[in-house]
Homo-oligomer: A and B are copies of this chain.
Amino acid sequence: MKNRAKPIENLINQLNKLPGVGNKTAQRLAYHIIDMDFEKVKALSDAITSAKENVKQCSICANFTDIDPCKICNDTNRDESVICVVEYPKDVEAMERATCYHGMYHVLHGTISPNKGIGPNNLKIRELLKRLENNNIEEIIIATNPTAEGDTTALYISKLLSPLGIKTTRIAYGIPVGGDLEYYDELTISTALENRREI
C-alpha cells in the first residue's frame, strides 16, 4: 500500500510468509505488535530467535530439543522396547497429548516423496536402523500419516525391518471417535471397512 510506513509494510510482508497468515491477518497482527509495550515486543522477537538458535535435533530420536539427548530419550520411566516412528516433531506432541503412549519416538523429518525429490536418504531412516543395532527393541510402531507419501514411507521402513525380526505395526486408520460417517470421504470409509474388527 502506497501510504503505509516502510517498517509496517516490511513487518506485514514478513508475517504474511507464515503458514495460515493471510494479508488481512498479517495486517491485524502488525498493528497489534506496534501497539504492544516495547518489552513485550522484545520478548516476542527474542523468543523467535532463541527458539531457532537453541532448538536442535536430539542425537537419538531426532525430535526437536534444547538438551541432548532430549527429555523423552532421557526419561528412565519410559518403555525403551518400543519406538513410535512419526513424520515430524509436531506429531510427537500430538502423541504425547493423548498421554496413553509411554515408549520412545523416532522423528523422520519428512516422508519419502519422489515429487519433491525426497528419498529415504533425506530422512532419519539410517539413524533408526542404527538404534536397532544395540538395543532390545521389541516393537516399531509406524505412525506416519495415512497419505500416499506416509503409506509409502511406512511400507519402505517395514520392508527394511522385516529381516531384523522386530515386530512392526502401523497405527489404525478409520473414522475418528465421535465422527459421523456422513462427513468422511470414500477412502476413509473404505479404510475403516477394511480394518474392521470382530466385536
Contact = CB atoms under 8 A, between A and B. Distances in A.
Contacts of A49: 41-42, 45
Q: How large is the interface on A (under 10, 10 to 19, 20 to 34, 35 or more residues)?
A: 35 or more
Given A43-B14, A49-B45, A55-B7, A28 B19 contact: yes
A124 to B, nearest CB: 14
A129 interface: no
Contact of A14 (B3, B47, B97): B47
Given A1-B97, A5-B67, 20 more contacts: A1-B96, A2-B71, A4-B93, A5-B54, A5-B65, A5-B66, A5-B70, A7-B66, A8-B51, A13-B47, A14-B43, A17-B44, A18-B32, A18-B33, A19-B32, A21-B29, A27-B93, A34-B52, A34-B55, A41-B49
